[in-house]
Copies of this chain bind each other. A is one copy, B any other.
Amino acid sequence: MSLLTVGTVAFDTIITATAKAERVIGGAGSYSGWAASFFHTPVNLVSIIGEDFPQETIAEMEARGIQTEGLERVLGKKSFFWEGEYLADFSSRTTHATELNVLADFDPQLPESYLSSEYVLLANLTPAIQKSVLTQIGSSSKLTVLDTMNFWMDTALDELLEVIGMVDVLTINDEEARQLSGKHSLMEAATKILTMGPKYLIIKKGEHGAMLFSNDGIFSCPAIPLAKVEDPTGAGDCFAGAFLGYIAKQQSTDFDTLKKAIVYGSVVASYCVEEFSLDRLKSLEWSDVEARYEMLVGMMTV
């Protein structure tokens, strides 16, 4: 009964219209693992870091039940680094720097203890690495979730399509769904993407919420209306981590469980964006999670 997530554990420099955070902890593996650990432990983290990554953060992860046996540290090298700047309304962002560093040669070999992971999140990363992890897990998994982004559609579409064909759930945003399918209507986009392999498609729409498409039906979850967003980085990773964390906690993959998992994913993402880095997640209590879950369900009750 374990959950695995693979994604970057890294440093980010984030510039917004009102603030700047320099070399703070980031990465899809960090965000998704932290989010999942609110619901289910152990979380088997797969990633790679350099000599510069703080041991203190790793200790914090361990203390939360995030296993770091699969977190490889390369001495003499630096961790992955990304610097980006958001527009004032957070509608788009510009990348100022991407330093692959240790990520350039990352070829994860899963520890023996990870191989029986039942719930697998392939957080945003090279499709080739996502595929390698999926292949090592083999048939022991009960639900596999793939998060990806337009960058991989632009640069590694064939490999990405291969991984999409291997997973149960795909999570992308609305523009990515349009790009991947070549269809403008999200309904048509979803119909087409569901023929590519996944049984479930989650389309993330930021402030407009998220939608779950499947042959079992459609579910639409609003986003928590926030008075203030400090930094949207990591929202999608938190969404995916909390989504799968809830499913692992429930030990169920039926449609009703997936719907509730999307609500919990939206809740954790809504907290993530209130502060930079993992800061808000670190102060988050379970009662906070439950409060916004009830709020979101209330907003949907007709």
Question: Could you list which residues of chain A lie within 8 angstroms of chain B, going by C-beta atoms?
Answer: 88-89, 184-188, 190-191, 205, 207-209, 211, 217-222, 225-229, 259-260, 263, 297-302
Specify which chain B residues have a CB less than 8 angstroms from the CB of A191 in the assembled complex.
227
Q: Which among B88, B208, B228 is the interface contact of A208 at CB below 8 angstroms?
A: B208
Q: Given that A205-B208, A207-B186 are contacting pairs, would A220 and B222 also be in contact in the complex, using a CB cutoff of 8 Å?
A: yes
A297 / chain B contacts, CB cutoff of 8 Å: 302
Copies of this chain held together in the complex: 2
Check A185/B226 contact, CB under 8 A, given A205-B208, A208-B205, A220-B209. yes
Residues of B with C-beta under 8 A to A225: 185-187, 190, 211, 218
**6 A-B pairs (CB sep. < 8 Å):** A185-B225, A190-B225, A205-B208, A209-B220, A300-B300, A300-B301
Q: Which of B211, B221, B226, B260 contacts A187 (CB 8 A)?
A: B226
Main secondary structure on A side of the interface with B: mixed
Q: Which residues of B contact A229 (CB under 8 A)?
A: 185
Rounded to whole angstroms, the CA-CA distance of A228 and B188 in the bound complex is 8
A228 neighbours in B (Cβ, 8 Å) = 185
Query: In the bound complex, how far is the Cα of B205 from the Cα of A88, in angstroms?
Result: 20
